[in-house]
Chains A and B, each alone.
Chain A
Amino acid sequence: MPVPERLIRTARDAGLLQCRICGCLSRPPAGVGKHTAMHCPLCHARLHLHEHNNSIEVTWALLIAAMILYIPANTLPIMSVYMMGSGKPDTILSGVFHLMEAGQWPLAIIVFGASIVVPLLKLITLSFLLVSIQLKSRWRTRERMLLYKIIEYVGRWSMVDIFVIAILTGLVQFGTLARVDANMGSLSFAAVVVLTMFAARTLDEHLIWDISRHEGQQQ
């Protein structure tokens, strides 16, 4: 980055707020509390100082919801496959074991990676990013940025499992011969994937930079 950070002047540097909707510049009153809602005088849209961006709040909310649902997603069965009348519900992990027993190692690794590791990594990484932002950490900003990009890109692949279940449940309904049913676990799992995807989206990646720059200015 060849441009010196000091040269960049923003509205906030001047102690002003710019509305993101109508572009109106306004002046925040003195002594604004953390939970004080500020609105644009022109269009009445919410105004945020970057420190008080609700991006963090929303991301936390979604992340916590995803964490809660991650438990039933892995403990409850996601799918039941009945062949010739016999069969039983499987959780994600037992499904992986079944694949391993059947010698389908590549498939087992893919399922294990996409369905167990990726959601877990997403939860951990997002939490780490959020915590680091809130601690105003300046540690390895660029690497954290890369981490965020990877998480956002990989997250959607966890939906493969859900699509497989959806397609099988729709296609394989031959009564006693063969039947595939979706169970509660798949709903939880889908919720986890969707929630983490949203959480990744709502996390304002600017914040990773913002803090370091802001603090750099103060120094």
Chain B
Amino acid sequence: MNGLDMQQGGLPEVEIRDQKWPSPVWLIPLTALLIGCWLLFQIWYQKGPSITVQFTSAEGIEAGKTEVRYKAVTVGKVKKLTLSEDLKYINAQIELNKEIGAHLGHDARFWVVTPRINRSGVSGLTTFFSGTYIGMDPGTDNDDQSFYTGEDRPPVIAPTENGRRFFLMADSLGSIDIGAPVFYKQLQVGEVMDYKLLPEQNQVRLEVFIRDPYYDFVRTNTRFWNASGAEFKMSAAGAEFRIESLTSLLIGGIAFETPKSTTAGDVSAEESEFVLYKSFAATQEKQYSEKLYYVMNFSGSVRGLALGAPVEYQGIPVGQVENIGMKMDAQSLAVRIPVTVSIQPQQFNEKLSKTDAENTMRKLVEKGLRAKLETANLLTGQKVINLSMEKDTTPAQIVSNQSYSEFPTVGSPLDDLPAMAADIMASMQETLDGIKKLVKSGKLDKAVDNLNGTLAEAEQAVKAARKVLETVDRQTLPTVTTELTKTLQKLQGSLAHIDRLTAQNSPTQYQLQEMLEEVTSAARSVRTLTETLQRQPTSLLRGKKGD
């Protein structure tokens, strides 16, 4: 700076540098622009599909507030609520996140989650604080659509959980509800997901979900049964009590098991169908699809024969009573009681076809197979129908003149205990009458007179014998006589003892008398009992009915 002075001419010149770049201050709007673009991109990127879900009620749903959640994560929001054109439904316009939108399938499900109390407990408690929300399940494929129908109740298990679904066919639902547990060896391995009435089959189809790895235990020959509550059975075999778990006692449940008697089948495929048996006991019975129906006309009372009572062949159940009816002939006023039974011929032979089975039954009847009503349980008076081979019967055939063929029956000689007891009583009466007649006829007096004569003659004979003995005594056998005397003395002692025993007031006499009285009263009691039993066979179990 040596050339610097205050003269204008000596002023230094300004330094010139080339400026290639515009001022760095422009980085600020550039950054702002980038941020703005990024925000816009984010909004655009996060914007997922907009769908419409139809619900029956908008209860708890608020436009702009109600969230859509999947596994408790918010994935969308209700934007608008509109009524459907027919005013029956409400359409919720939902905006979903991009992430969930990419996984939305055609089978996606939506449901409203509100706090609810069912038999399994209280669920959806968080909604007390967060308000109602819409739960969703994105489904399996990516084939999304813009309209869905919402469900009224939340599904129990999200299908993302590993496991398999099976269908169970049941005659009735019983006390099973959605969420009811499924047990295997009393271990909870799954849940009931859904149930549906199939009008064509008139059956209930339950959908159960068995978790991984327990579905391996569901084989092709596995049997499911309704394990709801307690099972108490009083049968011809006695009393039986069975309970699966306390939970199932309260909310019902299903259990399954593969029978040990048969070899385990293959692992069942997804969505296989099974029969849901009514009880554990029902699974133990062999079930065959082929059934032959017969009508049996019994002459006597069918009291004690219940619907479902077994039809047995030599103690093995082969069928059951399906119906007990009553038919009266208007002219003759004769009443018949036709009992309809079903017999599973495959119980006799598994390879029998239906037509073969019918022929076989015919042949068996020709050989003497008859149906008999028998008491299975003396205590309860329950009856079963027993099929047995009778030897001396009039030949009979299966008559097929009605809707069901008629199976020949035979009355049992020991039809039942009361009848038998009455028979015994009657014959005893007869015997007593005979004795009475004999006594009154005078024949007995004559016989006694004859006996008197005989006795007199015997006396004389004895006297004569005495004379002989006296001579013998004196002359030949004094020693023998003394022996004999001794023996006689001993005998006399014994006789005296017997005399004492049989004396008028001896204890033995008294005891005997007492016993006889007891026996008499016992016989009377038996008589009353048999009479009562004949009238009311169940009175033993339930007590005598008051008149």
Contact = CB atoms under 8 A, between A and B. Distances in A.
Q: How many of chain B's residues touch chain A, expressed as a range?
A: 20 to 34
Contacts of A66: 32
A84 interface: yes
B23 A61 contact: yes
B36 A27 contact: no
A58 B23 contact: yes
Given A25-B11, A85-B129, A65 B16 contact: no
Interface string B1-39: 100100010011111111100110110110111011001
Interface string A66-84: 1011011000100000001
B64 interface: yes
A35 B29 contact: no
A17 B14 contact: yes
A47 B14 contact: yes
A188 interface: yes
B131 interface: yes
Contact of B13 (A27, A65, A184, A188): A27
A88 interface: yes
A66 B32 CA distance: 7
Contacts of A16: 8, 11
B242 interface: no
A41 B32 contact: no
Contact of B11 (A26, A37, A58, A72): A26
Contacts of A29: 13-14, 16
Main secondary structure of the interface of A (DSSP, over half): mixed
Nearest to A28: B14
A168 interface: no
Contact of B28 (A17, A27, A65, A86): A65
B379 to A, nearest CB: 64
Nearest to B64: A88
Contacts of B17: 36-39
Given A58-B23, A69-B35, A88-B65, A64 B14 contact: no
A61 B12 contact: no
Contacts of B33: 65, 68
Interface string B58-71: 00000011000000
Contacts of B16: 29, 32, 36-39
B246 to A, nearest CB: 34
Contact of B25 (A62, A88, A176): A62
Contacts of B261: none
A44 interface: yes
Contacts, number: 108
A27 B39 contact: no
Given A64-B29, A68-B29, A191-B32, A39 B23 contact: no
Size category, A interface = 35 or more
Interface string B431-465: 00000000000000000000000000000000000
A63 B47 CA distance: 30
A25 B11 CA distance: 7
B29 A62 contact: yes
Contacts of A62: 25, 28-29
Contacts of B201: none
A166 B40 CA distance: 24
Given A27-B13, A65-B31, A54 B129 contact: no
A203 interface: no
A218 B17 CA distance: 29
A69 B31 CA distance: 10
A176 B22 CA distance: 52
A34 to B, nearest CB: 10
Interface string A113-150: 00000000000000000000000000000000000000
Given A42-B1, A61-B25, A86 B65 contact: yes
Contact of A26 (B13, B26, B32, B129): B13
A62 B4 CA distance: 39
The 5 closest A-B pairs by CB, nearest first: A65-B32, A65-B29, A85-B130, A41-B12, A85-B129
16 contacts: A27-B13, A29-B13, A29-B16, A32-B16, A39-B16, A40-B14, A41-B12, A41-B13, A61-B23, A62-B28, A66-B32, A68-B32, A68-B36, A69-B35, A72-B35, A85-B129
Interface of B: 1, 4, 8, 11-19, 22-23, 25-26, 28-29, 31-33, 35-36, 39-40, 43, 64-65, 129-131
